[in-house]
């Protein structure tokens, strides 16, 4: 029996080619793609918008297991419709960018760009769901934009820098859980490593509460470091010439002087 014709529209496509598939055979991957394009359960979810870049990510995240990968794709396509993913890049985050609290600087050991979150430049949400959603959306927008523009070719490392942060900058378990869950479920395999530092009793308590809600694979990517150890840990996976001086490296971070709304995030910084 002939298979129905697949119709896929690569729109919008990232500026870089899809990463090489790691798991499964070419025939299995082809069948996976064919199911996304033709199965009725995906019909109203705009599967044609799921580009090859994302398909490889879902496939490899689930190690070439078709059933699990298809469930993940279905869940994310539903989320994208509810989240407004396809219009996300047109939203205005200029006020958030101007704080200089989130930007790319340097590359890790695998050549992935490093995304830095400076909590000292962030106003905490106070646990307000609407504010938490806006903040998580800003992070997702930043990463989606970096994928679209070719800065993130496959993965990125995420540093959550709490140096000089006060209680006014703090976020609780609701934010951490929302952020990591959104990344692990809907941006498969994009996070290479995540490091939160410097830790304290509150951070460890928040992490202890958040962990049960997270995928063990994602948990294994997260490092919680104290004030006396984070520079050593960062040096283990970020080369000295790529690591900012404030973290013990030799790289000048042009955003060290940013604060109080005097500069916007430049996604081109750190490109090859």
Q: Are 10 and 52 in contact (CB under 8 A)?
A: yes
Distance separating alpha carbons of residues 46 and 62, to the nearest angstrom: 22
Q: Show Cβ contacts of residue 174 under 8 Å, excluding neighbours closer than 6 positions.
A: 125, 127, 129, 132
Q: Which two tokens stand for residue 45?
A: 């979810």
Question: In the prediction, which pLDDT does 16 show?
Answer: 61
Tell me the per-residue pLDDT of 217-246, one tens digit each, with 9 for 90 and over.
888 899 999 999 999 999 999 999 999 999
Q: Is the pLDDT of residue 1 over 70?
A: no
Count of Cβ atoms closer than 10 Å to residue 124 Cβ: 19
Average pLDDT, the chain: 86
The model carries a pTM of 0.84
Q: Is the pLDDT of residue 14 over 80?
A: no
Tell me the per-residue pLDDT of 106-127, one tens digit each, with 9 for 90 and over.
999 999 999 999 999 999 998 8
Distance separating alpha carbons of residues 207 and 202, to the nearest angstrom: 9
Biggest CA pair distance of the chain: 65
Q: Which two tokens stand for residue 143?
A: 């990463």
Beta strand 102-107 with 113-118 is antiparallel
Distance separating alpha carbons of residues 22 and 19, to the nearest angstrom: 9
Confidence of residue 2 (pLDDT cuts 50, 70, 90): very low
Q: Which residues pair with 161 in a beta bridge?
A: 118, 197
């Amino acid at each position: 029996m002939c298979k129905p014709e697949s119709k896929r529209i690569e729109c919008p496509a990232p500026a870089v080619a899809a990463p090489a598939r790691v798991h499964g055979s070419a025939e299995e991957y082809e069948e996976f793609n064919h199911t996304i394009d033709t199965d009725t359960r995906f019909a109203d979810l705009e599967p044609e918008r799921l580009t090859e870049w994302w398909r490889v990510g879902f496939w490899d995240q689930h190690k070439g297991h078709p059933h699990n990968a298809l469930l993940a794709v279905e869940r994310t396509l539903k989320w994208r419709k509810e989240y407004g993913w396809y219009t996300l890049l047109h939203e205005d985050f200029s006020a958030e960018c101007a704080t200089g609290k989130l930007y790319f600087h340097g590359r890790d050991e695998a050549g992935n760009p490093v995304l830095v979150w400076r909590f000292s430049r962030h106003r905490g949400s106070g646990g307000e769901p609407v504010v938490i959603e806006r903040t998580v959306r800003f992070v997702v927008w930043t990463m989606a934009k970096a994928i679209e523009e070719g800065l993130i070719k496959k993965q990125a490392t995420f540093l959550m820098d709490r140096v000089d942060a006060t209680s006014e900058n703090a976020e609780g378990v609701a934010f951490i859980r929302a952020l990591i869950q959104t990344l692990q479920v809907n941006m498969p395999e994009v996070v290479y490593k995540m490091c939160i530092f410097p830790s304290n009793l509150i951070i460890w308590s928040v992490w202890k509460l958040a962990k049960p809600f997270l995928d063990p694979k994602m948990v294994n990517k997260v490092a919680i470091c104290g004030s006396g150890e984070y520079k050593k840990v960062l040096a283990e996976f970020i080369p000295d010439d790529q690591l900012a001086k404030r973290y013990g490296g030799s790289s000048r971070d042009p955003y060290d002087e940013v604060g109080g709304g005097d500069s916007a995030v430049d996604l081109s910084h750190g490109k090859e």
